[in-house]
Amino acid sequence: DTAVSQTPKYLVTQMGNDKSIKCEQNLGHDTMYWYKQDSKKFLKIMFSYNNKELIINETVPNRFSPKSPDKAHLNLHINSLELGDSAVYFCASSQGQGNSPLHFGNGTRLTVT
Amino acid sequence: KNEVEQSPQNLTAQEGEFITINCSYSVGISALHWLQQHPGGGIVSLFMLSSGKKKHGRLIATINIQEKHSSLHITASHPRDSAVYICAVPYNNNDMRFGAGTRLTVKP
């Protein structure tokens, strides 16, 4: 069983569209994250959810919105996609805060044309 | 200046060589993570350590909290070790700051 699964693996769409990326973890972790990896492979945190509460929200445009229907899911919705949104998006989970190992999904490569 | 600095950025080695990747950080931490990202893109957590040294197979991670420095060593390197190695430091509540990564290529 995959511990952290995200779908789709690839997403190609046009500017202005709205899209979602789904993430599910079956590890029973209480914290889930979304990270963005840019073309230079630099990872930056976007959102963190702990027990369905948004803990941090970096300087991310409000076109991005995380949705967590339950502790095992954290989906990422993106409205009015822009060219600069093209990147690889990783979902991850951990038990507790930063002093617990992170478990990553396989990433979603988003290409906006 | 990035709060988490890694060196070198790129590293090419011959199979069998001993590899060292360094990470220095400027933010206070409770633990430091070493991650591995394979060419296929997936990210795997290798180590999480808050003091001393940890060993897993041919991989060894050390940390010096006073000097805010950690190293990742690979003994008897192999082409399958070729990947990007990333160190990450917890920052505030559930935030994480990442190094830019070290791209390792091990040639047969």
For the stretch B80-104, pLDDT in tens is 999 999 999 987 766 788 999 999 9
**Alpha carbon distance B17, B11 (integer Å):** 12
> Does the beta-carbon distance from A104 to B45 stay under 8 Å?
yes
Q: What is the mean pLDDT of residues A74-81?
A: 96
* Whether the predicted pLDDT of A98 surpasses 90: no
Residue to substitute from B96, B97, B102, interface A, most A β-carbons within 10 A: B96
Output the pLDDT for position A51: 75
pLDDT of residue B16: 97
pLDDT, residue B106, reads: 97
Put simply, the answer to whether B86 touches A44 (Cβ < 8 Å) is: no
B18-48 residue pLDDT tens: 999 999 998 767 789 999 998 877 899 999 9
Nearest-CA distance from B66 to chain A in Å? 18
Give the confidence band of A39 by pLDDT, cuts at 50, 70, 90.
confident
Q: Which residues of B touch A (CB under 8 A)?
A: 29-31, 33, 35, 37, 41-45, 48, 50, 84, 86, 88-96, 98, 100-101
Q: What is the pLDDT of residue A41?
A: 80
- The whole-angstrom distance between A47's CA and the closest CA on chain B is 9
Alpha-carbon Rg for chain A in angstroms: 13
Shortest CA gap A34–chain B (Å): 11
Contact B94 A50 (CB under 8 A): yes
Whether residue A56 is predicted with pLDDT greater than 80 in this model: the reply is no
- Across the interface, whether the CB atoms of B30 and A98 are under 8 A apart is answered yes
End-to-end CA distance of chain A: 34
- pLDDT greater than 70 at residue B1: no
pLDDT at A57: 73
Residue B91: which of B34, B32, B36 has the closest Cα? B32
**Which pair of tokens denotes residue A35?**
């990270």
Strands of chain B (E only): list them: 4-7, 10-14, 19-25, 32-37, 43-49, 52-56, 59-64, 69-74, 83-91, 95-98, 102-107
pLDDT band at A1 (very low <50, low <70, confident <90, very high): low
A108-112/A87-94 β-pairing = antiparallel
Give the helix/strand (H/E) hosting A59.
Answer: none
Which pLDDT score is estimated for B22?
A: 98
Sort out which chain B residues have CB atoms less than 8 A from A97's CB and list them.
Answer: 90, 93-94
Q: For A46-60, A66-80, B29-43, which range has the lowest pLDDT when averaged over its residues?
A: A46-60
Look at B43 and A90 and tell me if their CB atoms are within 8 Å. Answer: yes
Least confident of A34-38, B1-5, B48-52, B72-76: B1-5
The answer on pLDDT for A109 being more than 80 is yes
**Could you give the percent of chain A with pLDDT greater than 90?**
64
